[in-house]
Amino acid sequence: MASLHGQRVVRQEDRALLTRGGTYVADVADPLLDGAAHVTFVRSTMAHARITGIDVEGVRTAPGVVGVFTAADLGLGFAPMAVPVLPPAMARPWLAGEVVRFVGEPIVVILTERRDQGEDAAEQAIIDYEPLPVVAHPEDARNDEVLLFPDHGSNTAAVFGDEGDASEFADCEVVVRERLVNQRVAVAPLEVRSTAAAVGADGRLNVWMSTQAPQSARHAITRAFGWELDSVRLIAPDVGGGFGAKIGPYPEEMLVAWLVRHLGRPLRWLETRSENMVAMGHGRGQIQHITIGGGRDGVVLAYRLDILQDSGAYPSMGAFLPYMTRVMAAGVYAIPNVACHATSVVTNTMTTVAYRGAGRPEATAAIERAMDLFAAEIGMSPAEVRRRNLIDVASFPHTTPTGAVYDIGDYRRALDLVLDAAGYDELLAEQASRRASGAVRQIGIGLALYVEITAGPTAGKESARVEIRPDGRAMVFTGTSPHGQGHETSWAMIASDVLGIGLDDIEVIHGDTDLVPRGMGTMGSRSLQLGGSAVLEASEQVLDLARRVAAELLGVGVDDVVLDHDAGVFRQAHDAVGGASVSWQQVAVAAAGEGGSLAAGADFQASTPTYPFGAHVAVVELDSETGLVTLDRFIAVDDAGRVLNPLIAEGQRHGGIAQGAAQALCEEMVYDDDANPLTTTFADYTFISACELPSFELVAMETPTPVNPLGAKGVGESGTIGSTPAVQNAVVDALSPWGVRHLDMPATPQRVWRAIAAGHDLSSRQGT
Amino acid sequence: MIPASFEYERPGSLDEALGLLAEHGDEAKVLAGGHSLLPLMKLRFATPAVVIDIGRLDSLSYVRDEGDHVAVGALTSHRDVARAELLRRHVPLLAHAAGQVGDPQVRQRGTLGGSLAHGDPASDLPAVALALGATFVADGPQGRRELAGDTFFEGFLETALTPEELLVEVRVPKVDGVGWSFQKLTKRAQDWAIVGAAVLHGNGRTGVGLINMGPTPLRALDVESALRAGASASDAAALADVGTEPTADLNADEAFRRHLVRVLVRRGIEEAAAGTSG
Ligand SMILES: Cc1cc2nc3c(=O)[nH]c(=O)nc-3n(C[C@H](O)[C@H](O)[C@H](O)COP(=O)(O)OP(=O)(O)OC[C@H]3O[C@@H](n4cnc5c(N)ncnc54)[C@H](O)[C@@H]3O)c2cc1C
C-alpha cells in the first residue's frame, strides 16, 4: 500500500453529512432525553441598566411553563472567568439580577413542555429597568467616565506589552501614522449554540453540547458547580462550525447542566439565530494605532502598534487576544525595533472571544497596512518595500523583538511565487492603462504576507489511543474535536500508513468524555500537529506490540517480523509473499487470549509552536460610480509545512480566504451609540456567499517543520490571516487615484463612495 | 424566531378564500409564498390571528396571452415568471427582473402577487410593474376591480387593496422591441437592492421605476418627461432623485441613495438605448 501521506483522500465523513445529515445536538434522540423540557432565556433589551423589578407572574401561568428562574431563585452568584488572569470584579453573573450590561444578557430562564411555548411565555416577563449611561465604544470606555464595574475602579480588563521608547523613531527619515479599525464581526456558525442534558441510570449527568472542546467543557462545568469530574459525561456530536466561539462553555450552556442536576428533568436548549447574533461571542474588535518609520531606501527601522481591544461586557478570551497580536506584531519582517502595547477594555456589548485567527489576523492586518502606507509615503512599490525587509531564509529559528521564535520559513520564495502566479507585472500594466483612460471600473491589487503562530503557547498536549479490535479493525481515539476539519479522514490516514490497515477498517472516535477522557479539543490550528502526531506515535506503539505477538505466532524473533503494508499482514523478514503470515485479526485475538489488549496511548506535546506563513494577492474591481468593490481574483501561497491531505488543506484555505475576504468587504457587527445591536439577522449581517467570490488560485509550498514528526503546521486559520489585509490593501490600492491611503473595513459601497467623493473634493480644492 | 400562535386556514378555491377573508377581515393575513410574511411573523413584527394560505390555489398561477397584454396570475412564482416564454418575448424586463429576486429558494416560493401586495419599496417587482404601466386586478366582496399601478402603492407596506380583497392578476402591456434595463445594486447576490431602477425606453414608450427610494415603490416622473422631451441620458438621469424620500439605513444614507439612483438610472437609460438586455 503506497503511503497515503500527501494523497487527496476524499473526506470519509462527508457521505453521511451530505446524505442523511449530521446528528447535531438538536437531533440527538437518546432515550434519556425523552420528555425533555425546553429552555428559553428572557434577555435584556437594554445595553446598560439597573434592574428595578422582575415580574414573572405572567410567565408562570403561561401555557406549557414548568419552571421559571431568576438570579434570586438560582442563588448561584457568578460564572467562573474563562481566562483566570482577568479581574474577578468583572465576572458575569449566571443570570443578571441587579445590572444588565449588554443587549441579550439573560435575566430569566423559562422551562416549557414545547419549545415554541417558551417564546410565548418569555413575552409575559416584565423587566423594569432604570437606564444607566452606556459605553458603546472602546474609545469611550477608556476614559473611565462611566464604569461598567465600579468595584473594579476602571474599564480596563487587561494590559499587555511595553510602552516603548519615544526615541524609537528618532533615526527615521520617514514616519507614518494611522488609526486602523479591525471591526467586530459575528461568528455566525451554521449551527447555533445548543445543549441538552439528562441524568443517566448511573446517576451521572449526560450533557450533549455543540462545542469545540468537550473535555474542557466537562472540566469547566464540574469546577463551576463543585462537582466530581466523573459525575458528568460530555458529548459533542456533529458540530456545525465553531470558528473559536465554541471553545468555552457559555453560562447558558452550563446553566442547562445545573438545572437538570437540580430538577432531575432532562432539558434541551437550542438558541435562535437572533439570539446567536447578540449572545454568542463576537470576534475581532480592535482599534489600532500604527507608527512605522524607516528610510527612503525602503528599509523599515521601527514599528509600533498600540491596541485598544473591545472585550465586550464581561471580559473573556477577547480581552486576551492582544497578547497574540503582540507576539505576531512584527510579521515576516526583520524590523530591528518593534513595540506593541495593548489595553483591553469593557463596553456594553456582547463579549468578544476567539474567532478564526484570534489575535493573529489583527497583527497581520496592522503590519501589512503599515507596509503599504510606508510604501505609499516613499513612493515605492508595495512588493519592493516588503522584499527589502523580509527575514532572511538563513536566519531561522528567528527571534522577533516581541519574543516569538519562528521555527522555519522562506518568505522571499512565498513572495516570488505569489507574484509570479498572479502575473503581477501584467496586473500593474492593466491597472496603469485603466487609470490612464479614466475608466469607471478601476482595479486594485493588494498584497499581504503573513506569518502566524499555530499550536501556540496554550496549546498544551494532545492525546491519542489506538486499539486493534479482535476483528482486526483499528479504533483511533482522539482528544481533538473536529467540527468540519476532517479529522476522521486524516487520523485514519496516519494510522493506516503505520498499520497497513485500510481506511475502511479504521474508526476514529472523538467528542465523548467516556471514550476519550483526556483532550483539549480543536482550536488554534493545533489538531494535526499535536493530535495527529499523537495518533502517529500511538499507532507506532501498537505496531511494536503487534510485532511482538506476531513473532510468537510465527515462531521467529521480533526483529525478524515485518509488516507487509500492502497485504496488511505480518511476515518473517525477507520471506517471500505466500509464505507464512499472520493477520491483524490473528494478532489481536492472540493478544486478547493472553489477557492483554492490542492498544497503546500517546500524548504529544511539541517543543515549540509552529509558524505557518504565506503570501496572498487580491485583485478587486472598483465601480467608481457606485462604490461597489468586487473580488475578481485571489492568489494564495500558504506554507503549512508538510501537507497530509491536500484536499482537506485546500478546503481549509478556501474557507479561511472567504472568511477573511468577508471581513474586508462586507461583514461588521454594528452597535449604535446606545449599544443596541443593529445587525441581528442574516438580512442585515451580510456574510459573504459563493456568488461574491472568485475561484481561488492556490499555489502549493511546503517547508516541513522540525518540531513534530509529521512536519506539519496548522492551516485552519492562515487563509483568514492573509486574505483580510490582501483584500483591504487591494481596495485601498484601487482608491489611490483619489488620494486615498487608508480605508477601514468593511469596504461597503457607501464607505468606498464617500472616500471617492472626499477625494474629488480634494482634487477640486487643489485645482482652485 | 418562532411566530406567535395563529389559526391556519387553507381554502381550496378562490371563492372559499374570499369567503374567509370576508369573515376575518384585517384579523387575517393571506399567505402566498410566505417569503415576506413569515420572516415578519417569526420576528413577531406581524402577529395575524388567522393565516389564510392560498398556496394551493393553482388557478391563480398562470401566464396568458391576452392580445395587447400578458396576464399573470398573482400566485405565479418568481421562477415561473422568469422562465415564461411569453414574458421573455413580450415583456423581457419583467422576466429578467424576476430572475434577479433573492436567491433560487426565494424565487421558487415567492410570488408576483405577494411581492406587489406586500408593497415593499425595497422589492424589485413593484418598480418593474410601475415602469411597465401594469394594471392590477383585485377580487373581493364587491367583485373584481382593476387598479392602476400608479395608485396602488399608498404608503409603507400599504396598498389600495382592502383587507377583504385578494390580488388575483397582473396585466402587463406587451413591449416588444422597446429598450429596457434593470439596474440593481446589491452587496451580495441574494440581497435586496440598496437602490435599483427599472427602465423602459424607446418606440414611443417610456417608464422608469425606482427601488428603495422612499416609503413606496416609485416612478421617476421627471426622468420620464425629460426623456420624452428628448433629453440625454445624463440630463434625464440627473432628475432621478427628484421627488424621492430615501431613508437612511446601514447600507446607505439619503445622500448616497440620491447619488446611486442618478447613476443607476443613467446606466439604465444608456443600456435601454443600446438595446441590450441585462
Ligand atoms: C432571503 C430573501 C431574499 C429576498 N430578496 C428579495 C429581492 O432581492 N427582491 C425582492 O423583490 N424580494 C426579495 N424577497 C422577497 C420575496 O420576493 C417575497 O417572496 C415577496 O416579496 C413576497 O411574495 P410572497 O409570495 O412570498 O408573499 P407572502 O410573504 O406570502 O405575502 C406577503 C404579503 O402580501 C400579502 N399577499 C400575498 N399574496 C397576496 C394576494 N394574492 N393578495 C393579497 N395579498 C397578498 C400577504 O398577506 C402578506 O402581507 C426576498 C425574500 C427573502 C426571504
- Decide if A35-132 and A282-403+410-454+610-767 have a common fold: no
* pLDDT per position as a tens digit, A33-79: 999 999 999 999 999 999 999 999 999 999 999 999 999 999 998 99
C-alpha distances (whole Å) from A492 to each of A4, A501, A502, A566 are 10, 9, 9, 16
Chain B CB contacts of A273 under 8 Å are: 1
* pLDDT per position as a tens digit, B35-88: 999 999 999 999 999 999 999 999 999 999 999 999 999 999 999 999 999 999
| Residues B142, B223 within the same domain | no
* pLDDT per position as a tens digit, A263-318: 999 999 999 999 999 999 999 999 999 999 999 999 999 999 999 999 999 999 99
Please give the pLDDT value at position A429. 98
C-alpha distances (whole Å) from A732 to each of A316, A372, A381, A718 are 33, 9, 14, 22
Please give the pLDDT value at position A760. 77
Residue A216 · residue A517 · CB < 8 Å: no
Confidence (pTM)? 0.96
| Residues B49, B62 within the same domain | no
Spacing, Cα B171 to ligand 1 middle (Å) = 19
Interface size between A and B, measured as CB pairs under 8 A: 61
Confidence check on the interface: ipTM exceeds 0.85, yes or no? yes
Q: DSSP per residue over B7-40, as a string? A: EEE--SSHHHHHHHHHHHGGGEEEESS-TTHHHH
* pLDDT per position as a tens digit, A578-635: 678 999 999 999 998 877 789 999 999 999 999 999 999 999 999 999 999 999 999 9
Determine phi and psi for A385, rounding to 5 degrees: -60, -45
Q: Is B166 in the pocket of ligand 1 (CB under 6 A)?
A: yes
Q: How far is B8 from chain A (nearest CA, A)?
A: 16
Q: Would residue B190 count as lying in a domain?
A: yes
Cell of A622: 472598483
DSSP 8-state secondary structure symbol assigned to residue A130: E
Task: Out of B138, B173, B208, pick the residue that ends a domain.
Answer: B173
Residue of the CA atom closest to atom 50 of ligand 1 = B102
Residue B249: CATH number of its domain:
3.30.390.50
The residues of A whose Cβ lies within 8 A of any Cβ of B are 115-116, 119-120, 123, 272-275, 625-628, 666, 670, 678-679, 681, 683-684, 686, 688-689, 691-692, 748-750, 753-754
Q: Is B179 in the pocket of ligand 1 (CB under 6 A)?
A: no
Spacing, Cα B35 to ligand 1 middle (Å) = 5
| Residues B49, B108 within the same domain | no
Mean pLDDT, 10 residues at a time, over chain A (768 residues)? Answer: 90 91 95 98 98 98 98 94 92 98 98 96 98 98 97 97 82 97 97 98 97 97 97 98 96 98 97 97 98 98 97 97 96 96 98 97 98 98 98 96 94 98 98 96 98 91 96 97 96 97 97 96 95 98 96 93 92 78 95 87 96 98 98 98 97 97 98 98 93 97 96 96 98 97 98 94 51
Residue B79: CATH number of its domain:
3.30.465.10
- Distance linking the first and last C-alpha atoms of chain A: 77
| Residues B14, B85 within the same domain | no
Residue A616 · residue A440 · CB < 8 Å: no
Q: Would residue B142 count as lying in a domain?
A: yes
Q: Would residue B1 count as lying in a domain?
A: no
Minimum Cα–Cα distance from A750: chain B residue: B252
DSSP 8-state secondary structure symbol assigned to residue A560: G
| Residues B256, B151 within the same domain | no
Please give the pLDDT value at position A762. 57
| Residues B66, B156 within the same domain | yes
List, in sequence order, every residue forming a beta bridge with A70; answer none if it has no partner: A108
| Residues B190, B122 within the same domain | no
| Residues B108, B140 within the same domain | yes
Please give the pLDDT value at position A767. 42
Cβ pair B1:A272 closer than 8 A: yes
Q: Which CATH architecture has domain A282-403+410-454+610-767?
A: 2-Layer Sandwich (3.30)
Query: Is A457-604 in CATH node 1.20.810.10?
Result: no
Helices A360-378, A382-389: inter-axial angle, 10-degree rounding: 110
Q: Is B192 in the pocket of ligand 1 (CB under 6 A)?
A: yes
Q: Would residue B130 count as lying in a domain?
A: yes
| Residues B137, B186 within the same domain | no
Vertex A142, ends A138 and A147: CA angle to 5°? 95
Cβ pair B2:A272 closer than 8 A: yes
| Residues B212, B265 within the same domain | yes
* pLDDT per position as a tens digit, A528-566: 999 999 999 999 999 999 999 999 999 999 999 999 998
Residue at grid coordinates 478556501: A654
Residue B26: CATH number of its domain:
3.30.43.10
| Residues B68, B19 within the same domain | no
Task: Out of B173, B208, B226, pick the residue that ends a domain.
Answer: B173
Q: Is B74 in the pocket of ligand 1 (CB under 6 A)?
A: yes
| Residues B40, B64 within the same domain | no
- For chain A, which residues make up each domain, given as ranges? 35-132, 282-403+410-454+610-767, 457-604
Minimum Cα–Cα distance from A275: chain B residue: B1
Minimum Cα–Cα distance from B193: chain A residue: A683
Q: Would residue B278 count as lying in a domain?
A: no
For B188, which of A116, A120, A686 is closest by C-beta distance? A686
Task: Out of B151, B173, B195, pick the residue that ends a domain.
Answer: B173
DSSP run (H or E) holding B60: none
Percentage of chain A modeled with pLDDT above 90: 93
- Residue B248, chain A, CB below 8 Å: the answer is no
Spacing, Cα B122 to ligand 1 middle (Å) = 11
DSSP 8-state secondary structure symbol assigned to residue A395: G
For chain B, what is the domain count? 3
Which class in CATH covers the domain with range A35-132?
Answer: alpha beta
Q: Identify the domain containing residue B251 by its residue range.
A: 179-273
